[in-house]
Amino acid sequence: MATYSTNEFKSGLKFMLDGDPCTIIENEFVKPGKGQAFNRVKIRNLLTGRVLEKTFKSGDSVEAADVLDTEMQYLYNDGEAWHFMHPETFEQVAADESAVGDAAKWLKEQDVCTVTLWNGNPISVMPPNHVVLTIVQTDPGVKGDTASGGGKPATTDTGAVVRVPLFVDEGEQIKVDTRTGEYVGRVKD
Partner 1 sequence: MTADNTSWRPGANLAVMQQRARMLQQLRAFFAQRDVLEVETPILQYHAVTDVHIDTLRVPLEGADGYLHSSPEYPMKRLLAAGSGPIYQVCRVFRADEAGHRHNPEFTMVEWYRPGFDHHRLMQEVDDLVRTLLTDSISPGKTLKLSYRELFDRYLQLDPFSCSVEALQRQARQRHIDIVSDEVMDRDGWLDLLLTHVIEPQLPANRPVFIYDYPASQGALARLQQQDDITVASRFELYLNGLELANGYHELLDPVEQRRRFERDQQQRQQQGRFIPEIDEKLLAALKHGLPDCAGVALGIDRLLMIATGCDDIRDVLSFSMERA
Residues in contact with 106: Cβ distance below 8 Å, sequence separation at least 6, in sequence order: 127, 128, 131, 158, 160, 176, 178
- CB-based contact 100:125 (threshold 8 Å): yes
Would you count residue 34 as binding partner 1 (CB under 8 A)?
A: yes
- CB-based contact 113:72 (threshold 8 Å): yes
Would you count residue 50 as binding partner 1 (CB under 8 A)?
A: no
For partner 1, the closer of residues 55 and 98 by Cβ is 55
- CB-based contact 48:19 (threshold 8 Å): no
Q: How far from chain centre, in Å, is Cα 157?
A: 20
Residues within window 67-126 making contact with partner 1, judged by CB under 8 A: none
Residues within window 150-169 making contact with partner 1, judged by CB under 8 A: none
Would you count residue 36 as binding partner 1 (CB under 8 A)?
A: yes
Judged by CB under 8 A, the residue of 48, 50, 54, 112 near partner 1 is 54
For partner 1, the closer of residues 15 and 106 by Cβ is 15
Would you count residue 184 as binding partner 1 (CB under 8 A)?
A: no
Q: Is 78 left (phi over 0), alpha (psi -120 to 50) or beta?
A: alpha
For partner 1, the closer of residues 53 and 71 by Cβ is 53
For partner 1, the closer of residues 58 and 155 by Cβ is 58
CA distance 48 to 107: 20
Judged by CB under 8 A, the residue of 11, 28, 119, 157 near partner 1 is 28
Considering Cα of 37, then 42, then 44, then 48, what sign does the dihedral take? positive
Judged by CB under 8 A, the residue of 45, 58, 114, 155 near partner 1 is 58
Judged by CB under 8 A, the residue of 51, 60, 76, 92 near partner 1 is 60
